[in-house]
Structure 1
Amino acid sequence: MSHQTNPVTFVLIARIPTEGVDSFRAYEEAVLPLLPEFNGCIERRLRNPDGTIEMHIVSFASDADFQNYRNDPRRAAQARLLEKSAAKLELLPMTDV
């Protein structure tokens, strides 16, 4: 169980159709404020000029914190916005080198 005390870092790449940008931003406005409750932090957030690609570097104190964030019912309640955005998400676990 020692792995649960190790910090975890992810890169999220979101590819959003132009018509889905507003829904994607509404989703983020709803779910990103939850991160601190789960020992999560956005280390870096990048967006291309037209808003169709976003990249986040997100870290959590442990994998358990990350899983608890993913399973939070308030986050799940916003899933319709993410679906409406039609964003294609790629979540990559990363480590410092």
Structure 2
Amino acid sequence: MSLVALVEYPAGADEAGQRYEDSVLTLLPRHGGRLERRLRTGDGHREVHLIRFDTRAGYEAFLVDPERIELRQALGDTAPNTRVLEVHEV
């Protein structure tokens, strides 16, 4: 399963958001996921991630990982806004 995550940091929260992403992305292998590409815009306000999971169940487990949830809750209103798209090769 291939995903593209479009990540946008709230105004003034670029550094906190980037630290959050640094931490959360390390959880991927725990669920059969891997980060293939991580791209950041020149202004540092947005990122694009290309992520693969071995199974949909792995992706779903990642979404409810207690450590991921705890990290996100700790950021409160400064948590990144993320849109995830399932994609495939054409």
Same fold (TM over 0.5): yes
Q: Which runs of 5+ in 2 are unaligned?
A: none
Distance 2:74 2:6 in 1: 17
Distance 2:61 2:80 in 1: 22
Distance 2:61 2:35 in 1: 16
The residue that corresponds to 1:89 in the other structure is 82
Q: TM-score of the superposition, structure 2-length normalised? A: 0.88
Aligned: 1:62 with 2:52: no
Aligned-residue identity in percent? 31
Aligned residues: 90
Matched position secondary structure for 1:66: helix
Q: Which runs of 5+ in 1 are unaligned?
A: 1-7
Match of 2:3 among 10, 18, 25: 10
Match of 2:72 among 71, 79, 95: 79
User: How far is 1:56 from its partner?
Assistant: 0.3
Higher helix share: 1
Kindly report the root-mean-square deviation, in angstroms, between the aligned alpha carbons of the 2 structures.
1.5
Q: TM-score of the superposition, structure 1-length normalised? A: 0.83
Q: Give the letter aligned to residue 64 of structure 2.
A: N
Contact 1:26 1:81 in 2 (8 A): no
